[in-house]
Amino acid sequence: MNRTVIDKAPASGLREVDGATPMFGFIVERSGGDDSYFMAVMNPRNLEEGDVSSQCTLLKMGNGAAQNRVIFNQSVYPNPVPGFPSRQAAKSWMATAQYAQLKALMLSLKYS
C-alpha cells in the first residue's frame, strides 16, 4: 500500500517504552485502487510515507499497551464520522470543528 500523511503532531503526554513520543496522524493509504483513511496516535515509524507494508496503532506502554483510532466510513449513532469520497474532501473536513475536536482529544491523551 502507499501511505500519505495528511496531518501529524506529537502527542507529548505519552511516551512508549522505547522512549519514542507517539504522534497523532491523519493518513490515507491506497491499496488496490481504493483509499482508506485513518486517524490515530501511533509510533512515529507508522507515519512514514510512500510504499509501506502495514499500519499499526498499538503503543507499547510501561505496563502494557494502548490503542486508539477514529473509525471512518461507519455509521456511529448519534454522530457518524464521515467517510471521504476524495482526498480533497478529507482535507476540507480538516477545517471543521469536528476534526479540531477529535485531534485535540487525541493530543490530550496521557499515560502514567
Contacts 24+ apart (CB under 8 A), 21-24: 22/59, 23/47, 24/103, 24/106, 24/107
Amino acid 65: pLDDT? 86
Walk along the chain (112 residues) and give the pLDDT tens digit of each residue: 899 999 999 999 888 888 889 999 999 888 877 788 889 999 888 889 999 877 778 888 888 888 888 877 655 555 545 578 889 999 999 999 999 999 999 999 988 7
Amino acid 90: pLDDT? 93
For residue 36, what is the enclosing H or E element? strand 34-42
Amino acid 91: pLDDT? 95
Amino acid 25: pLDDT? 95
Q: What is the pTM of this model?
A: 0.84
Taking the CA atoms of 46, 52, 54 and 55 in sequence, report the sign of the dihedral they define: positive
